[in-house]
Amino acid sequence: MSINKEKKTEIISNFSRGDTDTGSPEVQVAILTERISNLTGHFQTHKKDNHSRTGLMRLINQRKTLLAYLKKTNTASYEALIDKLGLRK
């Protein structure tokens, strides 16, 4: 359900603004999207896991908040991130 270290460093290198950037909204949204996709796959086999479903809702709301912030502050970066991640079809 969580991401391993190699996958996380790959995501950070793909979405970071610079070499030492690990906390920008783009990176955070990309990491949250990976965690959300892992959890949705988990729910295919564990339909009654309501505790993890609560955590999934928290992750979705956190991603939603970060996307709203990014849209408000940097629209071009927001649109590029949406296209790269395949969100909001």
Burial class (CB in 10 A: 0-12, 13-18, 19+), 61: exposed
pLDDT at 89: 58
Q: Distance between the two ends of the chain, CA-based, in angstroms?
A: 25
- 10: tokens are 């790959």
Q: How many CB atoms lie within 10 A of CB 12?
A: 18
Span 1-50, pLDDT tens digits: 689 999 999 999 999 999 899 999 999 999 999 999 999 999 999 999 99
pLDDT for 88 equals 80
pTM assigned to the model = 0.93
What mean pLDDT is predicted for residues 51-62?
96
Extract the tokens encoding 62: 């956190």
Domains (range + CATH), the chain: 25-85 (1.10.287.10)
